[in-house]
């Protein structure tokens, strides 16, 4: 099946590595005009340059999603172009340092919630306003951690559960405005964050040995699912959660 996408710009946050970088690459190669945004601007610029060398359309922007003013400024910039904003993959996230719940540093927990909840609300607000009436698709990246009891990563798990609720609430009001909002929940994935959570890439795969897939996901495998949710082929999918974990949740 060939995927098709609405004309306009697609914003990918957390595009400097991992799932975000993979999604930006696949989207650009599908003919989508992509805007790569992350705090690590130099990485986004490097990838955008590589995509332009392939004859594709890609731009890079510096963005800290916890800076509400910067979020609103970027969304305003993109929505005011002739192309407008047609899609967003809200992928940027934070994982605190592992620690037992009773010993968790409140400042680390707050930083996780600032990125994974409060900043996601800011992004959704800005994106929904920009797309209302003209149509669009928003995919927020959650995690199967929302359904797990993670004593050593409790703030992260709680933040992803809250994000699921936020996405559902947003979807209920967005669809009448022509905007779809969905949640993509990966399992353990070979990204910098995934390796940090498990200590190394080998540790991650070892932890997944008993799962049906027997390994962690590759960023491209998660990105493919994101593309489908963003595409016109998922035009009647709204408020859904797509779990991509190779059956690990089973």
198 is catalytic: no
Tell me if residue 31 falls in helix, strand or coil: coil
CA angle 214, 200, 203 (to 5 degrees): 35
Q: Catalytic residue, from 10, 113, 156, 198: name it.
A: 156
CA-to-CA distance for 69 and 202, rounded, in angstroms? 40
Query: Which CA distances in Å does 143 have to 67, 156, 241, 249?
Result: 23, 9, 10, 11
User: In this structure, how many other beta carbons lie within 10 angstroms of the beta carbon of residue 161?
Assistant: 17
Tokens standing for residue 7: 């004309």
Q: Specify the DSSP class assigned to residue 45.
A: H
Tell me if residue 59 falls in helix, strand or coil: strand
**Who contacts 77 (Cβ-Cβ below 8 Å, separation ≥6)?**
none
Which sequence positions are flagged as catalytic? 156
């Amino acid at each position: 099946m060939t995927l098709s996408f609405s004309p306009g710009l697609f914003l990918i946050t957390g595009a400097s590595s991992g799932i975000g970088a993979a999604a930006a690459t696949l989207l650009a190669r599908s003919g989508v005009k992509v805007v790569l945004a992350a705090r690590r601007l130099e990485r986004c610029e490097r990838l955008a340059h590589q995509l332009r060398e392939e004859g594709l359309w890609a731009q890079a922007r510096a963005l800290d999603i916890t800076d509400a003013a910067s979020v609103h400024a970027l969304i305003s910039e993109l929505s005011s172009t002739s192309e407008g904003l047609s899609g967003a993959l809200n992928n940027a996230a934070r994982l605190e340092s592992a620690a037992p719940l009773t010993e968790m540093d409140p400042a680390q927990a707050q930083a996780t919630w600032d990125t994974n909840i409060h900043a996601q609300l800011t992004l959704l607000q800005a994106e929904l306003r920009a797309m209302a009436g003209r149509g669009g698709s928003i995919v927020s990246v959650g995690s199967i951690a929302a359904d797990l009891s993670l004593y050593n990563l409790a703030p992260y798990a709680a933040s992803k559960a809250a994000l699921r609720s936020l996405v559902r609430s947003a979807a209920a009001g967005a669809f009448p405005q022509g905007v779809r909002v969905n949640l993509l929940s990966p399992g353990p994935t070979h990204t910098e964050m995934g390796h940090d959570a498990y200590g190394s890439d080998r540790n991650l795969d070892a932890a997944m040995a008993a799962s049906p897939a027997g390994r962690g996901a590759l960023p491209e495998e998660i990105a493919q699912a994101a593309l489908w949710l963003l595409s016109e082929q998922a035009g009647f999918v709204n408020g859904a959660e797509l779990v991509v974990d190779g059956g690990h949740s089973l």
